[in-house]
Structure 1
Amino acid sequence: MRYLKALIVLFIVSSLFTSCFEDNDDNQVSASQINDFVWKGMNTFYLYKDEVPDLANDRFSSDGEYASYLNSFSKPEDLFESLIYEPKTVDEFSWIVNDYIALEQFFSGIITSNGMEFGIFGFSPTDTNRYGYVRYILPNTSATNQDVKRGDIFYGINGTQLTSENWRTLTSADNYTINLGSYNDNGTPETTDDSVDNTSKSISLSKAQYTENPILINKVLDAAGTKVAYLMYNGFTGTDQFNAELNDAFGTFKSANATELVLDLRYNPGGSVNTAILLASMITGQFTGDVFSTEEWNSEFQQAFEDENPELLINRFVNNNNGVTLNSLNLTRVFILTTRSSASASELIINSLEPYINVVQIGTNTRGKYQASRTLYDSPNFSRSGANPSHTYAMQPLIFKSLNVNGKTDYFDGLFPQQNNILFESIKNLGVLGDENEPLLARAISIIDGSGKFPINKSDKTENRIEISGNSKDLLPFANDMYIDKDIPNDLIKRVLFE
């Protein structure tokens, strides 16, 4: 019954609830007051609301029953987790934080880092030992100063062997020492006898606040007379500054008369939908106004959008960013390098461009995240403005799933390259990022110049047994997020709340 929902939303929770919660600012605030925000936000926005009985509009027969329900959860996190739909399979990506200041900093590209971005691997599912390998180094960081290099391997932290259980804890510390190892293939092409040998070398690293520019490398290569733009883009950080720098990079490509683009998203966990639209529009340029992607919300929000303004469900290709003309390349083909660490907005680029141009995906399958989220604050319309000053809790629940113009979505297992372009990164031979001989980039160039210089050996199963089980981005609970940064009209929110 919607009238009861409205009563619950307007209910003065502080008059009923007595349990207290101490937030980061040491202010006393009712735990159930925050729980009220959690339930209301999830009941209003959550993509899988219809699948969660406790989020039904008629779940509670009275305000007293609602109050009792909220009081049964001593922590907001417990209530939030109880409302997630199939968290181990369908929704692995919704989360709640008790400090939205840190969350906002992350979305602005501000992180705490020692500059060493790494992957975690193991040799056997039955062996709990894990090993780290350096993927890339952030400039002007502790790792830069200590001469950490891509391809370095470490077996331990502060003398403790990495395992499947401890690697997150050990690498979460602000200061630690990595114990270096060397990869030993024992002179055979198989991995059954591979190992990491310990060495006596170690490197001490320290974390500090750092603003990561998502553009790690941008350059123009020459492939048998063809100008090939190469962009390693490591996050869809939706700030005005980084969006402008992305447009500047494409201006450089355009000035160099680049007619091909290799977009390296192998370590890009995603981010802003708006930035994905901008990037896709820079790659193309000939589809301004056409549908880039569409959105599917929960049944109530979907109906409200369709009744009030269905255009709000459509994201279209654009030709400018805040009035500044985009430097578009008007390409009909793009090469995109991927791994299992390519997620959300990275996948959105692939899925949404495929109906329009030839997307040549090289590497391995992506993460499989087609849903987007939005930050919800404890305010009347869930926006940052007017947020409850008594606490700093915020939620980032999934609120819609993305579809391309042909309706393709639900790629739970990720997006896959064609069979002849499946290429695993080799920990033994990662290569230099941006170098024409780096295996994934070399594969793209071989297609561009027609040389066939770097064919893929289909019988090579070298990396199939080596399990990449994690990476440094996993230490950030919101790293794999795809989020929207557009405003939702207040009258539409009110309709969903009170109709």
Structure 2
Amino acid sequence: MSNTSHNRFIGQLSIAGLLTFLVLTFTSCNKNADTISPQTRTTSTNNSLVDHWILENMREVYYWNDKIPANPDTTLAPSDFFDSILYSYDATARPDGDRFSWIEESADNLTAELSGETKTTGMEFTLYLRAANSNDVIAQVLYVLPGSPADQAGLKRGDIISKVNGQGITVDNYQSLLFGDMTTYTFGLAQVSNQSILDTDVTKTITTAVFQENPVFLDSVYTVGSKTIGYLVYNQFVPAPNGSNGTDYDDQVDAIFSKFKAQGVNEMILDLRYNPGGYTSSSANLASLIGKGVDASKLYFREEWNATLTPYLTQQYGSDFFLQKFSTKAQNIGGNLSRLIVLTTDWTASSSELVINGLRPYMTVTTIGTTTVGKNVGSITVTDDSGQIKWGMQPIVFKSYNSLGQSDYSGGFTPSVEVQEPINLYPLGDTREALLSAALGYISGTANSRLGVSQNPLKALGSSIQRKAGGSQMFRRLKNLNL
């Protein structure tokens, strides 16, 4: 194979070798089969060795592989080296650049996190400045996982944390206090009083544990006049628990829509406000339950890979390799829907946005909340099958397009009705809760009168959701091809 200026390959893994590997992977597909694990002939894991492993894989699979530097510094620490070869996003110089590829030192931890299993307190939270022009920070609990350490300690949505282990949280220490390696946390709680945050004497002590999150958080049915409204809070696109080859969580979603169909649901509110993404297969499953007039013959989305791999993959597997069709689902409620309402925030990303974009050619999709992340690209997990290199990376390898060829949401989906989450939070599913209330008001035609209650005077600094398996994920589950 001749080398060119933009698709040169190094190391022992050639295109032919990669395709041989892909054949073996596709025919033994399981839930973790989106892991590309080329064999390596190395015997140690010093920086140079790991860096060359990173480089040879990225030169083959990375979506922007033609932008990788010709002679990168392979003496750098692996995480620094990985960052150095990315076509990194820059608003001015590289507005089409990469915001989402990442690498982790433990491939095992990476694959577990992508399936919702982490060492955790069991809660997600938003960080705010405590007051204008202040360096003090608070963390407000967004949701607590049932059965988790946080749940057992009595923490709940809306609780405000102002201290960790007796120390006040500030802009200088919140990273170490809230995202460090501590096992036991004693959280000091605060409360809202007359628009101010006041400390209390209440504390909650939590010991972290390895915990599997069920992404199917809450479902309900509401009746508003002649409308029967289905509501689903879904927090990550994961088909089954870590280590399982099944579809346990997808099956739970199917069962919920079977119930929605039996109850005559004719309006649907899909709550993806805290969903940063996940498996495209689970995204397709959910979309297949909602889409109007969709079945296994209809295109959900297609993938665009780099110019190096595309001809080889097309020759080996045909053009269907790049296509994700809907499934024909008996539980589909699309026939009773005229539209879909999706609740979104700044953390709604990737496979969540795929649902919005993928369904828009088939039905009206209205978003309520705040603008989404804008991730129209997807990744695969790359690990070393020999076990000699422990690192795992999640590079962007494809861009997604809906059936109309649309992929123009890198700036996120701007909501039709803009609603911020307030500082006073009602439980998810409570009809007084700001985003759900706005959606119910939109359905009944009274949305505008409800928006004033949802404005938040505090400045947000970010959320723990941004650290959830990379913050915004869309990764494919490789298809089982009969070769």
TM-score (norm 2): 0.83
How many percent of aligned residue pairs carry the same amino acid?
30
Q: Does 1:144 align with 2:151?
A: yes
Larger radius of gyration: 1
User: C-alpha distance in 2, partners of 1:453/1:422?
Assistant: 10
TM-superposition CA deviations, 1:259-299 (whole Å, max 9, x none): 11110011111111111111111012522222211222222
Deviation at 1:30, TM superposition (A): 4.3
Report what 1:371 is aligned to.
Answer: 377
Report what 1:391 is aligned to.
Answer: 389
Report what 1:86 is aligned to.
Answer: 88
User: C-alpha distance in 1, partners of 2:170/2:130?
Assistant: 12
User: C-alpha distance in 2, partners of 1:319/1:141?
Assistant: 35
User: C-alpha distance in 2, partners of 1:3/1:170?
Assistant: 50
On the 8 A contact 1:154/1:180 being kept in 2, the answer is yes
Report what 1:2 is aligned to.
Answer: 2
User: C-alpha distance in 1, partners of 2:202/2:9?
Assistant: 64
Q: Does 1:250 align with 2:252?
A: no
Q: Does 1:49 align with 2:56?
A: no
Output the amino acid matched with 1:425.
E
User: C-alpha distance in 1, partners of 2:422/2:65?
Assistant: 42
Change (3 A) 1:204 1:454: farther
Q: Does 1:468 align with 2:457?
A: no
User: C-alpha distance in 2, partners of 1:254/1:488?
Assistant: 31
On the 8 A contact 1:238/1:271 being kept in 2, the answer is no
TM-superposition CA deviations, 1:289-343 (whole Å, max 9, x none): 22211222222223444555222222222115xxxx5544433311110110111
What's the secondary structure of 2:354's corresponding residue?
helix
User: C-alpha distance in 2, partners of 1:333/1:105?
Assistant: 35
Output the amino acid matched with 1:148.
L
Report what 1:231 is aligned to.
Answer: 232
Output the amino acid matched with 2:319.
P
Report what 2:310 is aligned to.
Answer: 302
Q: Does 1:272 align with 2:283?
A: no
Q: Does 1:315 align with 2:324?
A: yes
TM-superposition CA deviations, 1:140-180 (whole Å, max 9, x none): 12222222121111212112222234223212322111111
Change (3 A) 1:196 1:6: closer
What's the secondary structure of 2:470's corresponding residue?
coil
On the 8 A contact 2:10/2:56 being kept in 1, the answer is no
On the 8 A contact 1:284/1:332 being kept in 2, the answer is no
Deviation at 1:488, TM superposition (A): 9.0
User: C-alpha distance in 1, partners of 2:3/2:132?
Assistant: 53
Matches within 5 A, 1:193-232: 195-232=196-233
For structure 1, the 5+ residue unaligned runs are 12-26, 60-68, 187-194, 379-386, 492-499
On the 8 A contact 2:218/2:429 being kept in 1, the answer is yes
Report what 1:403 is aligned to.
Answer: 401
Output the amino acid matched with 1:8.
G
Give the root-mean-square deviation of aligned CA atoms: 2.7
Q: Does 1:37 align with 2:53?
A: yes
Deviation at 1:230, TM superposition (A): 0.7
User: C-alpha distance in 2, partners of 1:182/1:370?
Assistant: 39
On the 8 A contact 2:378/2:397 being kept in 1, the answer is yes
User: C-alpha distance in 1, partners of 2:234/2:13?
Assistant: 45
What's the secondary structure of 1:53's corresponding residue?
coil
TM-score (norm 1): 0.80
On the 8 A contact 1:423/1:456 being kept in 2, the answer is no
TM-superposition CA deviations, 1:389-409 (whole Å, max 9, x none): 223222110111112223322
Output the amino acid matched with 1:474.
Q
Deviation at 1:357, TM superposition (A): 0.6
Change (3 A) 1:400 1:124: farther
User: C-alpha distance in 2, partners of 1:94/1:362?
Assistant: 28
Change (3 A) 1:316 1:413: same
Q: Does 1:347 align with 2:353?
A: yes
Aligned mate of 1:417, from 406, 415, 418: 415
For structure 2, the 5+ residue unaligned runs are 15-42, 92-96, 241-246
What's the secondary structure of 1:258's corresponding residue?
coil
Output the amino acid matched with 2:12.
V
Output the amino acid matched with 1:426.
P
Aligned mate of 1:478, from 443, 466, 470: 470
On the 8 A contact 1:137/1:144 being kept in 2, the answer is yes
Deviation at 1:8, TM superposition (A): 3.2
On the 8 A contact 1:333/1:357 being kept in 2, the answer is yes
Deviation at 1:430, TM superposition (A): 1.8
On the 8 A contact 1:107/1:238 being kept in 2, the answer is no
